[in-house]
Amino acid sequence: MGYYPSKSNKKQNINLKNHVNAFKKNNNLDLSPMEINIIDSNNEIKFNKKVYDEWINHVASIGTHNSLMQYSFFINNRISYQELTMLSTDDLINNAIQTITRECLNKWGDIKINSPEIDISEQETIINTIKKRFLELNFNEVCYKAIQKSLIYGGIGLYLDTGSLPNEPLKIKKEFATKYPLKSITIIEPYLFAPQQLNLTNPLLSNFMMPNKWYVSGVGEIDSSRLYTMIFFDIPYIIKPMYNCLGISLCQLMKDKVKSAESIRQSLTDLMLRFKTDIIKTPLLVSNANLLKDRVDLINLSKNNLGTLVLNENEEYINSVTAITGLDKIQAQAFENVASSARLPAVKLLGLTPSGFNATGEFDLKNYYDVIRGYQNNTIKPFINQIIKYLLAELGYDDIAEFEFSILEKSNELENSQIKNYEIDAMIKLVNAGLISPQDAFNELQNNGYISKGITFNNNEDDDLNNLNIEEFI
């Protein structure tokens, strides 16, 4: 591949001395990035030579004799996309993928305008236009499938089709967006594309390990600005090329835990079939094998609560029972480990109710919603905001809006009422202290949804904010 050199190079020491001498002479090393076309064999040879000469780290075993051995573990444990596809059909793994996907988009969110210069009516027009464009692009369905496939494969590509040349940069500017409006968003699974131009040599640049160009099967070269990559579980740079410059799959993270849990489940199932065994000590075992077989068949046919077992004086009956106390906890622990590998509470993945004294599972759900909130803000929201930014450019606006996901936690009416009263009381105190104007307090309460958008502020200096009946506005 040419990513990490593993062959011995006799000229390394000589070249290293040359670099030291060059540094002493010119006080400057060649740190310029080298964008290469990995598909082109000539460029790959040129790239390998440059890496052999300049990328030598004896501590990390990069560019030295045993560098390949360092990555053999990752190479052997790297799961192919075909295997990831098969793993995604497993009951537990598929349930985890569907649960995370569903929860990330369960309550969706709202588009908020950040420009105070735009009046409310114009803001509503902009938001409604963007929502209409979302419907035209089937945006919700695209987001759902993108999250789903990203969890399966460790990352996917989202191609933004504007009708312009795919190998040229996508400019999010008014002139460009009005000429080339967004037509569709296509999901490309990772086995259909690969990095083509990639900075592997200079970590000082912002595009380190981030492809500038992608090669898409059947299409050719595509600029990275047109192929947005969605990654949930990122990986260190040192093994990133092995994963197609994407991330690690949820299927791979869950694979070992699911295998162990299924092995325990199957072992317990087998144990249930033979945990009770009847033993009869009899001389027939030696004297007459055929008679013994007939005797055993007769005992098995009549073995029930109403049956009678007749033994002679030379026979002894023993009922052997295997203790199964605590085995349910072993199985439960194994499947809790599966839920942990999926970053999900057991109540969400397995549908199990919390056990123990006064157990409600509220703490687990709170942590779970924090994890989902992290997925939304760190992985999904940047993509949505990128699309909103381009749609705003189509309408002739700058980047004046962003997307906010709705709160996932279910709060009761008492909590909502208390929060509302606290915010209103805080606004009244700030106005009375002269820190903010009544107009600012009114706008803040209106933006938070406590005052209807249709109500306008009445600038009457004789009115005291303390004497206002807030319930009339809410």
- Gap between the Cα atoms of 188 and 262, Å rounded: 32
- What region, left, alpha or beta, does residue 459 occupy, with left being phi > 0 and alpha being psi -120 to 50 degrees? beta
What is the dihedral sign for C-alpha 127, 130, 136, 139?
negative
pLDDT at position 460 is 60
β partners of residue 280: 317
Which of 105, 182, 210 lies closest to 148, judged by CA? 105
Do the Cβ atoms of 35 and 199 come closer than 8 Å?
A: yes
Do the Cβ atoms of 189 and 268 come closer than 8 Å?
A: no
- Gap between the Cα atoms of 253 and 337, Å rounded: 11
pLDDT at position 447 is 77
Long-range (24+ apart) CB contacts under 8 A made by 34-37 are 34/199, 34/201, 35/197, 35/198, 35/199, 35/212, 36/197, 36/198, 37/196, 37/197, 37/213
- Gap between the Cα atoms of 91 and 88, Å rounded: 8
β partners of residue 250: none
Do the Cβ atoms of 324 and 271 come closer than 8 Å?
A: yes
Strand, helix or coil for residue 462: coil
- Gap between the Cα atoms of 429 and 435, Å rounded: 9
Integer CA distances (angstroms), 324 to 74, 269, 331, in order = 40, 12, 12
- Gap between the Cα atoms of 10 and 202, Å rounded: 24
Strand, helix or coil for residue 213: strand
β partners of residue 63: none
Structure tokens at 28: 């400057």
Do the Cβ atoms of 299 and 309 come closer than 8 Å?
A: yes
What is the dihedral sign for C-alpha 384, 386, 389, 390?
negative
- Gap between the Cα atoms of 379 and 373, Å rounded: 10
- Gap between the Cα atoms of 315 and 282, Å rounded: 5
- Gap between the Cα atoms of 157 and 189, Å rounded: 6
β partners of residue 279: 318
Structure tokens at 462: 């004789």
Residues 6+ apart with CB under 8 A from 396: 174, 178
Do the Cβ atoms of 277 and 320 come closer than 8 Å?
A: yes
DSSP structure string for 311-378: --TT-EEEEEE---TTHHHHHHHHHHHHHHHTT--HHHHT-PPP-STT---HHHHHHHHHHHHHHIII
Do the Cβ atoms of 450 and 420 come closer than 8 Å?
A: yes
Which of 254, 253, 243 lies closest to 78, judged by CA? 243
Which of 455, 432, 434 lies closest to 443, judged by CA? 455
For the chain (length 474 residues), average pLDDT per consecutive 10? 39 49 52 50 53 46 53 72 94 94 93 87 93 95 96 96 92 92 95 89 87 92 94 90 91 94 88 77 72 78 72 76 81 89 88 56 78 95 96 93 86 68 84 84 79 70 48 47
Q: Exposed/middle/buried for 342, CB within 10 Å: 0-12, 13-18, 19+?
A: buried
